[in-house]
Every structure is written in structure tokens, then in C-alpha cells.
Amino acid sequence: MLDEIGSLCPPRRILLGPGPSNVEPRVYEAMRTPIVGHLDPYFFEVAEDVRKLLQVVFGTKNQFTVAISGTGSAGMEAAVANFAEPGEKFAILANGYFCDRITEMARRYGAEVVRLEKPWGQPFSDDEASSFILRERPKVVAFVHAETSTGARQDGAAICRAAHEVGALVIADCVTSLGGMPVEVDATGIDIAYSCTQKGLSCPPGLAPLTVSDRAMGVLRARQGVPRTWYLDLKMLDDYYQGAHRYHHTAPITMFYALREALRVVVEEGLEARWQRHRRNHLGLVAGLEAMGLTMHVAEPYRLWMLNTPCVPEGIDDARVRRRLIESHGIEIFGGFGPLAGKVFRIGLMGASSTQENVLLLLEALEGAMRAEGYKPAGSGVEAAESFFAAHAA
């Protein structure tokens, strides 16, 4: 049997899809260190370090800032399960796949879901969002700050102002934005924000950073009855991580080591510098893609810096192009799904994967793969990107 199941030997990939991103080397080193128990005082020191570092990256002073044991979807479900109540109105601004996932979760927890919908990739204007919220007067409003399915950013300031005017709490999905572009929870007015570890933070998947405002924690503590979730009950998790350290579950110690080191890397680089790196590499990639004759799915002011969605040219099979990239160059990008299936590529430039070198490498490989599938580029993507980078030095 052991002859059939040998030692691990995963292929080396350049991860340029919607996540995961390539892991920071220092994070791997942190993961090699000895574990302690999940009730050991040292573990709680690590958890406290993670809390303080997450406050910096989220842009918040929220005391309840933790890493949930689970992926970004666990962060989403924790946010929904603790604040969606049976029969209470739960409003969602829906313009992509992950808005639909929030919708399904809220329905399963018994909330009365109301949605304002737009085509995938089209953000809501301030007036559209405000009018919807003021009309519906929900208890909770949810939106996706950085929609991974489309590459579109949704500004949250007007959403938060309108929600607070009617006494609602605001949930923001920051899974693809944290660590790559400004989130600024407190300045925006977000009450509950969650993310993941494997995208802009360049850490393996397995934890879901989450922060909850004092106002939202007050609402949660005053809630009649307990949430329908046990594992993701935030009051119980608060007691475990920041209260009496009463046993709740066996936390993944090694993943906390990993996240702690990943966050140290982010803070050492500096948030402003990190955001500018992601923006510069995004713009360099777009310059190259457009020089090749590709158009972007999302309008310029609303494009994510971490997740790019160029449209697939007419007559080109995106799956064949992506297969050529991974087989010939070890480069992973993704295609669209849902209404965008076969219509866009999803190219991630996140965390450690967001480098000028990767931009140029991808453009060269993509041009070759597209030519092999019969596409004739309008110009050289590599030359256009190099010109951009030369004119916009880091």
C-alpha cells in the first residue's frame, strides 16, 4: 500500500487565481515551530497578538476581533448566524455569487430576506443603496466589499450611513480585500466584517478573521435566546479567546502561528505601501491586457486591485487557455462561473503573488496560450506593462 501512496510531492504553482495566493516563506517557517495546547497560556498570547495585528489591518479599535477556526465561509456564517434573527428583515445588496451565498445563509437562519439586485459586476450607487435601505428599514444590511466572482468593489460608506439611520447593523464581506486594499472598518462604519487567510494575507486557508463593533456586540448580548449555531456562537468564542478562556473547541494552533507571522509581514511592509503595491501591479496588468486587445468586465473606478476580470475574446475557449497556462508554465488562473461562465478570466494578484515579475510572466504566458488557441493580440502585453512600470516606479 505504501508503494502506491508515496511521499508528498506537490507541483510548484504560481497561484494567480482568486485564491489561495502563494504563501509567504516566513509563514511556512512559523508553521514548523512546536505546537502547544489550545488552553496553554502561550496559545492565548499568540491569539492576543493576532487580535492586535488584525485591528491594524482591519482599521478598527473593536475589542472583539478574532480569527474563527474555519475558512472565510465560516466567517460569513458566523456573521449571519449571530445577527440574522427569525422573522426579522435582512437586506442584501446582491450583484455577485457571494451576495447569493449570504442570502442563502440568512434564509436558512429564518430571516426575512430582501434584496436589491444588479447584474454581476455592477456596483450600487450611493443613492441606490440608501434608497433601498431607507425604504426597507431592515435590522441587518449585508454587502460584499470585494466580490471575488466579478472583480468589482462596492463602497460601503453610504450603505453604513443609511443603515445606521434606521438602526440597522452592517455586515461586510472583506474576504478578497483585506490586506490588499483599504478596508477601514471604523472609518466606513462597518459593524461586522470578516475575511480569510489565504488571499491578501498570503497565509494557508483555515482561519477567518472577524471583527465586531461594540454596538453590534451590545445587540448580540441583548438578543433574546441563543443563535441557532453552536460552533460559531460569538459570545461563546468571546469567552474562549478573550474572557475566561473556557474550553470551546480545539483551535488549530499551527494556523494561528501562521496568521500571526503573515500579519507581521503585512504590518512590516506598511498598509499604505502594501495597498500601493497591489494597485501598481493591477494597473500594470490591465495596461498589458488592454494592449493585447482584451477589455475588462468591470468599469475602471470599481475594479479590484487583487482580482482582475478581463473578458474572454469571442471564439476563445477559456478552459483551454487556462489548461495551457498550468501545463506549460505552472500558472493557475480561474474562469468565471454563474452568468460569467466562459466570459471572463479571473486573475488574482494577491499578497505575495502580487509582484511585477508575476505580471510580466503571466502576460507573456497568456499571450502565447491565446495565440495557440487562434487569438491574434493587438499588441504586446509585456511591452505595454514594462512601459507602465518604467513610468510608475515602485
Q: What's the confidence (pLDDT) of residue 56? A: 98
Decide which of 267, 284, 301 is a domain's last residue. Answer: 267
Same domain, 119 and 47: yes
Q: How sure is the predictor about 102, in pLDDT bands with cuts at 50, 70 and 90? A: very high
Mean per-residue pLDDT for 364-369? 98
Residue 118 lies in a domain: yes
| 52-101 residue pLDDT tens | 999 999 999 999 999 999 999 999 999 999 999 999 999 999 999 999 99
Number of H helices, E strands in the chain: 14, 14
Same domain, 379 and 246: no
Mean per-residue pLDDT for 120-133? 98
Residue 197 lies in a domain: yes
CATH number at residue 383: 3.90.1150.10
- Residue 2 pLDDT exceeds 80: no
Cα–Cα distance, 362 to 331 (Å, whole number): 7
C-alpha dist (Å) from residue 200 to 251, 271, 274, 279: 22, 12, 10, 13
Decide which of 245, 267, 289 is a domain's last residue. Answer: 267
| DSSP letters spanning 150-176 | TTEE---HHHHHHHHHTT-EEEEE-TT
The residues with which 93 forms a beta bridge, in sequence order, are 116
Q: What's the confidence (pLDDT) of residue 3? A: 80
Residue 19 lies in a domain: no
Same domain, 234 and 329: no
Cα–Cα distance, 187 to 158 (Å, whole number): 12
| 370 contacts: CB under 8 Å, gap ≥ 6 | 292, 313, 316, 321, 377
User: Contact 54/67 with Cβ under 8 angstroms?
Assistant: yes
- Residue 1 pLDDT exceeds 90: no
Q: In 3-state terms, what secondary structure has residue 17?
A: coil
Q: Domain tally for the chain?
A: 2
Same domain, 274 and 201: no
Q: How sure is the predictor about 394, in pLDDT bands with cuts at 50, 70 and 90? A: confident
> In this prediction, what percent of the chain has a pLDDT beyond 70?
100
| DSSP letters spanning 215-253 | HHHHHHHH-SS--S-STT-HHHHHHHHTSS----S---H
Same domain, 84 and 41: yes
- DSSP letter (8 states) at residue 94: E
Residue 12 lies in a domain: no
**Structural domain span for residue 380:** 270-391
- Model-wide pTM > 0.95: yes
- DSSP letter (8 states) at residue 19: S
Nearest alpha-carbon partner for 189 in 209, 168, 175: 168
Same domain, 241 and 98: yes
Nearest alpha-carbon partner for 157 in 177, 198, 194, 127: 127
Residue 309 lies in a domain: yes
Count of other CB atoms within 10 angstroms of residue 247:
10
- Residue 256 pLDDT exceeds 90: yes
Q: Calculate the CA 116 to chain-centre distance.
A: 22
Decide which of 211, 246, 267 is a domain's last residue. Answer: 267
Q: What's the confidence (pLDDT) of residue 257? A: 98
Same domain, 322 and 367: yes
Crossing angle of helices 356-372 and 381-391, in 10° steps, is: 160
Nearest alpha-carbon partner for 168 in 117, 115, 219, 211: 219
Cα–Cα distance, 240 to 18 (Å, whole number): 32
- DSSP letter (8 states) at residue 344: B
Residue 42 lies in a domain: yes
Q: In 3-state terms, what secondary structure has residue 80?
A: helix
Q: What's the confidence (pLDDT) of residue 330? A: 98
> In this prediction, what percent of the chain has a pLDDT beyond 90?
97
Same domain, 125 and 141: yes
Q: Which residue has the cell 462596492?
A: 154
- HSE value, Cβ hemisphere, 13 Å, CA-based, for 214: 5
User: Contact 324/340 with Cβ under 8 angstroms?
Assistant: no
Output phi, psi for 348, to 5 deg: -95, 135
Same domain, 234 and 274: no
The residues with which 142 forms a beta bridge, in sequence order, are 92, 171
Q: What's the confidence (pLDDT) of residue 10? A: 94
- Residue 225 pLDDT exceeds 90: no
Count of other CB atoms within 10 angstroms of residue 208:
25
The residues with which 263 forms a beta bridge, in sequence order, are none
Record the cell numbers describing residue 277, joined without a space.
Answer: 503595491
- Residue 15 pLDDT exceeds 90: yes
Q: What's the confidence (pLDDT) of residue 159? A: 98
Q: How sure is the predictor about 104, in pLDDT bands with cuts at 50, 70 and 90? A: very high
Same domain, 235 and 338: no
CATH number at residue 167: 3.40.640.10
Residue 171 lies in a domain: yes
Cα–Cα distance, 102 to 96 (Å, whole number): 10
Mean per-residue pLDDT for 90-116? 98
Q: How sure is the predictor about 241, in pLDDT bands with cuts at 50, 70 and 90? A: very high
Omega before 205 within 30 of 0, i.e. cis: no
Same domain, 144 and 293: no
In the chain the first and final C-alpha atoms are separated, in Å, by 53
Cα–Cα distance, 228 to 313 (Å, whole number): 47
Residue 245 lies in a domain: yes
Q: What's the confidence (pLDDT) of residue 4? A: 86
| 160-189 residue pLDDT tens | 999 999 999 999 999 999 999 999 999 999
Mean per-residue pLDDT for 328-338? 97
Same domain, 293 and 318: yes
